[in-house]
């Protein structure tokens, strides 16, 4: 699918400012939307919105369908009458630039419990909306809410360590546990209701400003998830839930030993039996939440790297064929043409390119990968086609300032090549790289907020392969200069993102 020429910013809502320790869907999300509008930005790209698990990664969630409770705004709960002013008086002294997940999880769930109890006691006006939400989302919500309530009961333990009958999902056991955990199940349903309500209100506001949301789907789901527990037959686990094989990628630019993700793989033959119904539901649910879907690790639809469970690294594995063409033809038959961006980074084969182009999905271009001997020439803008998305860097890269600061002190030609290519020898190479992205023929240009702010390596979002310390960065409005929005509006106008009016064509016989 081709998209209109436009520009946008990559910023996950957790990185928004605010007084509750983590960015949320409250007033600052609307302020950021207003900033995007003034800055002439038509796109807001985010990471996956799911409930994060171990490591706090949005790419490892307890559900492929649910939303992240940590994004729920306490201030909006107060507006709904679910919290009082007193409930928000003693907010811990959270760091405004760094997310301390442990403290925030504890604090926010205390507030959510108060909101839930207030809902049960006083707030009758939400009752019908809540019940409608539960009915509309029962396909995934029933299993998810039981999964989370059971996880709470078992003090956060991996689901394979629960009561054996619950692990195996025996009918009699499910009935017993649903009765036993009834209040906890309703609590988790209610939290999802609040998330979806707040997110969809924000999305509608952004859309009313002409801004589209680019969401993100990790191709694989987390092992410790309601998805795997509820549908073991669809994933590479045995009947008792033990992993058989896991996902990852072989050695590449990011890691000499590859990336061992540890996610279960799909049993594609099983999924094909009902025309990939699980995937169709997942995509449909995602398109309620966002306007455009970025599919992470797109090459996994052509072939995926299968690693034996228990392997210490991702080095020993094998490529297995996936049903890419059949999958997308089937999905298109049921859902129509989908607005998908293909994350086609890393080692990409001709077969992956063919699959991407067959369905007209734009691929990704990372400018940090473009420069120096041995780098990837396909990321140099003179080699682009219009149907692509250009970034200075992604969430897995250093900030552009941090990247160049490191490279200029190394014994290679990356920094020098970038200077020559840009014909720029000043001290703001980050902005010149952004200008290069905007000026390219790429239909979409999306810049991480860290680069928009010109921040160094301390603002990096993620280090692939590193456990802990990721996904913690937040910006503050103090970092936003008074003229920044106007600067980017002018840049968007200069490079016609979106395009201006078409030039009138004069017929030859009128000359």
DSSP element (H, E) containing 487:
helix 484-494
pLDDT, tens only, 40-67: 999 999 999 999 998 899 999 999 999 9
pLDDT of res. 323 = 98
- Spatial strand order of the sheet with 259-264 comes to 259-264, 245-249, 303-308, 318-321
pLDDT of res. 241 = 95
pLDDT of res. 1 = 84
Mean pLDDT of the chain: 95
| Cα–Cα separations (whole angstroms), residue 477 to 17, 31, 95, 96 | 7, 10, 14, 10
Q: Dihedral, CA atoms, 190, 191, 194, 198, nearest 10 degrees?
A: -160
pLDDT, tens only, 182-232: 999 999 999 999 999 999 999 999 999 999 999 999 999 999 999 999 999
Closest CA to 182 of 125, 230, 142: 142
Q: Is 302 an active-site residue?
A: no
pLDDT band at 504 (very low <50, low <70, confident <90, very high): low
Q: Is 343 an active-site residue?
A: yes
pLDDT band at 453 (very low <50, low <70, confident <90, very high): very high
Is the confidence at residue 441, as pLDDT, over 90?
A: yes
pLDDT, tens only, 274-300: 999 999 999 999 999 999 999 999 999
pLDDT band at 342 (very low <50, low <70, confident <90, very high): very high
Could you tell me how many residues make up the chain?
A: 511
Is the confidence at residue 487, as pLDDT, over 60?
A: yes
Pairing relationship of beta strands 318-321 and 444-448 according to DSSP bridges: unpaired
Give the C-alpha separation, 419 to 423, whole Å. 6
pLDDT of res. 506 = 63
Give the C-alpha separation, 378 to 384, whole Å. 7
Determine the average pLDDT of the residues in 121-142: 91
pLDDT over 90 for what percent of the chain?
90
Annotate 496-510 with b (16+ C-beta within 10 A) or e (fewer): ebeeeeeeeeeeeee
Q: Is 396 an active-site residue?
A: yes
pLDDT of res. 252 = 75
DSSP element (H, E) containing 141:
helix 138-153
**Residue 464, SS3 per DSSP:** coil
**Residue 6, SS3 per DSSP:** strand
Is the confidence at residue 337, as pLDDT, over 80?
A: yes
pLDDT of res. 467 = 76
Is the confidence at residue 250, as pLDDT, over 60?
A: yes
pLDDT of res. 155 = 96
pLDDT band at 511 (very low <50, low <70, confident <90, very high): low
Tokens of residue 28, six digits:
């600052």
Annotate 72-94 with b (16+ C-beta within 10 A) or e (fewer): bbbbbbbebebbeeebeeeeeeb
Give the ranges where 369-483 is alpha helix by DSSP (H): 400-407, 414-422, 429-439, 449-452
Determine the average pLDDT of the residues in 251-262: 83
pLDDT of res. 17 = 98
Determine the average pLDDT of the residues in 100-115: 96
Residue 114 buriedness (CB in 10 A; 0-12 / 13-18 / 19+): middle
Pick 502 or 344 by higher pLDDT: 344
Is the confidence at residue 9, as pLDDT, over 80?
A: yes
pLDDT of res. 464 = 83
**Residue 363, SS3 per DSSP:** strand
Give the C-alpha separation, 288 to 346, whole Å. 30
Is the confidence at residue 386, as pLDDT, over 70?
A: yes
Give the C-alpha separation, 182 to 176, whole Å. 10
pLDDT band at 468 (very low <50, low <70, confident <90, very high): confident
Catalytic residue among 24, 296, 344, 398: 296
pLDDT band at 465 (very low <50, low <70, confident <90, very high): confident
Catalytic residue among 56, 216, 224, 343: 343
Give the C-alpha separation, 290 to 499, whole Å. 23
pLDDT over 70 for what percent of the chain?
97
pLDDT of res. 125 = 78
pLDDT, tens only, 134-154: 999 999 999 999 999 999 999
pTM above 0.85, yes or no: yes
Give the C-alpha separation, 268 to 322, whole Å. 7
pLDDT of res. 346 = 86
pLDDT band at 503 (very low <50, low <70, confident <90, very high): low
| Cα–Cα separations (whole angstroms), residue 206 to 9, 35, 42, 210, 406 | 13, 11, 9, 7, 37
Q: Which residues pair with 8 in a beta bridge?
A: 43, 446
Catalytic residue among 75, 142, 306, 396: 396
Residue 31 buriedness (CB in 10 A; 0-12 / 13-18 / 19+): middle
């Amino acid at each position: 699918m081709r998209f209109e020429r436009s520009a946008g910013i990559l910023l996950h809502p957790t990185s928004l400012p605010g007084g509750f320790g983590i960015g949320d869907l409250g007033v600052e999300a609307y302020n950021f939307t207003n900033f995007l509008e003034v800055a002439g930005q038509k796109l807001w790209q985010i990471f996956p919105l799911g409930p994060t698990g171990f490591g706090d990664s949005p790419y490892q969630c307890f559900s492929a369908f649910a939303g992240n409770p940590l994004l729920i705004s306490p201030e909006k709960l107060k507006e709904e009458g679910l919290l009082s002013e007193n409930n928000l008086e003693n907010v811990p002294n959270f760091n405004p630039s760094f997310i301390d997940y442990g403290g925030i999880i504890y604090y926010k769930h205390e507030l959510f419990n108060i909101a839930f109890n207030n809902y049960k006691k006083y707030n009758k006006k939400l009752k019908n909306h809540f019940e409608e939400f539960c009915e509309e989302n029962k396909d995934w919500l029933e299993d998810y809410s039981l999964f989370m309530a059971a996880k709470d009961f078992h003090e956060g333990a991996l689901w394979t360590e629960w009561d054996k009958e619950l692990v195996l999902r025996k009918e009699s056991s499910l009935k017993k546990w649903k009765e036993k955990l009834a209040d906890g199940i309703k609590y988790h349903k209610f939290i999802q209701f609040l998330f979806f309500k707040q997110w969809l209100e924000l999305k509608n506001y952004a859309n009313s400003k002409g801004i589209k949301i680019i969401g993100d789907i990790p191709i694989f789901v987390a092992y410790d998830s309601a998805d795997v527990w509820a549908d073991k037959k669809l994933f590479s686990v045995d009947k008792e839930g033990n992993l058989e094989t896991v996902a990852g990628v072989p050695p590449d630019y990011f890691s000499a030993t590859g990336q061992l993700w540890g996610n279960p793989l799909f049993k594609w033959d099983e999924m094909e039996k009902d025309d990939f119904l699980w995937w169709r539901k997942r995509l449909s649910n995602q398109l309620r939440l966002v306007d455009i879907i970025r599919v992470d690790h797109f090459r996994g639809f052509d072939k995926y790297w299968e690693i034996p469970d228990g392997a210490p690294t991702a080095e020993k594995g094998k490529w297995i064929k996936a049903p890419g063409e059949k999958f997308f033809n089937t999905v298109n038959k049921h859902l129509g043409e989908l607005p998908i961006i293909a994350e086609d980074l890393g080692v990409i084969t001709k077969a992956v390119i063919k699959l991407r182009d067959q369905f007209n999905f734009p691929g990704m271009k990372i400018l940090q990968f473009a420069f120096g001997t041995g780098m990837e020439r396909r990321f140099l803008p003179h080699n682009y086609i219009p149907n692509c998305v250009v970034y200075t860097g992604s969430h897995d890269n250093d900030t552009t300032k941090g990247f160049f600061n490191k490279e200029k002190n190394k014994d290679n030609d990356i920094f020098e090549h970038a200077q020559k290519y840009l014909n720029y020898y000043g001290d703001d190479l980050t902005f010149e790289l952004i200008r290069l992205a905007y000026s390219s023929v790429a239909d979409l240009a999306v810049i991480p907020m860290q680069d928009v702010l010109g921040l160094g390596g301390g603002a990096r979002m993620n280090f692939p392969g590193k456990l802990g310390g990721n996904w913690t960065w937040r910006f503050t409005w103090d970092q936003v200069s008074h003229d920044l929005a106007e600067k980017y509006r002018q840049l968007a106008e200069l490079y016609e993102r979106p395009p201006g009016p078409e030039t009138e064509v004069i017929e030859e016989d009128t000359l």
